[in-house]
Structure 1
């Protein structure tokens, strides 16, 4: 039986070592596939429609002047960014707002134009230049506003002077803001986008000048983006599989392989053989305090030798006779011998030798007897 266990231990040890070495590279391969499947994006957003409509608003203004030394005839003339307040009676200006699209769109809504006079954060007053108008047009180039308006500087100057007189508060600078307000929607390919624009033309009204304080052209964009989300497959070396099942399969297989490797490694560790404790070693450990070790065998000449079958019988006899137990170890491989001497009687017990194959210990290289732990 012991011989069979020893052989079985050797076979299992070799098989588990082979299993461990074969599963380890497989674990790395499956782990790499699992990681690759998880870092692969699950979905991709595909742009089905990507169009942009640009809304451009531009201003062009002039100055209407009374006759003066610079302009003896007076009238409406082209000017730069600075106008002279004393000789400027009006500022006529043109607003053009156009919707530019690569494809035909439908634009509809309303717009109005106001002139807002501001005294910093103290007060402001709006003067309508055009009441609310509707628009409903279709095309690639849609004109929303294309009109000429006028800032009556005589009226504005009179209004500001009256406010200063009535309130007793005057400002070193006032702002004149031309505010076109466009509200509506743009339709394209079953999509609808809101538009709400207020691109202001601003002048600073100061002591003796009227100065441009803003840009003269503005651009805003309305984006039409329609996308579709698609599920990505798992693709590797020309093989294409559904991504989610691959994730689940590779992760589960990785966990199974890892568990198998851990179990085989533990079994390899536990299958290391250890020396068998002989019966004599067990008796010496348990009853060593009751024994007297002797270096030479007792002379049995003239004595009656009574061999006993069990150590317990010898132990009981020693207690009854109140005699010590002598322990002798034969150096010539005879083994251990336990003796109780009672007059002419010598009671002996010789532990049975264990007949087991010697399995070499790979760690120590010796030839002691081993069994599976």
Structure 2
């Protein structure tokens, strides 16, 4: 890599930081992949070279998560937002109900889409508490006749994350894991369907991963548009139409990088250490910095906080930007500050931010 290039401290909420090693490899292979004389972006998605990239990415994801054989891994497009529609379109049938646990803006949007297709219910909600917490498991109410129970595993805007997932028995548990997929080990067998946009931990924007139990595919609604059927993509190994080939190539390289970090166990340990650095500064600031999420629900991916004085907060964000920190503004809907510490954000960036926060407090307290 060119030593004169200075990398920003990237805390963007998404698209977010990618591993430097992955970017460098992509740079090396960009115009001549596998001595083919062309970029992976220029290749047919039916070619042998791309076929290997595609299938290897699926195999690596299955291996990292120990995904059981009765699940399919799909590479789709449209982000999590399209999944808000596809889930109820495929599985919310006439006479059934879908239950949603509300923990933030994205779960609200998912519920809004489901309302277009059938009956819904709020299984639990932390909205009255300004989404500062994840509901406890015993607060979650649903019927065994429900089509599915939907959760959002990590909430980027409010900085909360599920620490334990509900047991839903025969009712499929559906999870939007867009912002914490690949950040820790997860027992896939607890879920009927998992979906995630790639642009936080999996790769660049443009790819959506779906992990779906095969028996659900068999039960899915058949009378919907072809491209919106999960079976269309499962039956064609996600090659029914041209997939986002470069994004899938990048996703495969990110998976290799995760393996090199010690797999999901190593990634989780690293994520815990990074988040602790910043949360410790907040907790030891005597109220100068105030976290949004309750302690029991704090996210390892999105650390949300306010500076006690509104004018100081504005100054904090200005000075942070000048110091090379990118993406620390809170979501436009809530304001404040947010540090997104996804997998590829290095420990050094988090240490630099903690040092900056400590020095800023010393100057302005």
For normalisation by structure 1, the TM-score amounts to 0.17
Q: Which has the higher contact order (CA 8 A, sep 6+)?
A: 2
* Higher helix proportion (structure 1 or 2): 2
* Higher strand proportion (structure 1 or 2): 1
For normalisation by structure 2, the TM-score amounts to 0.17
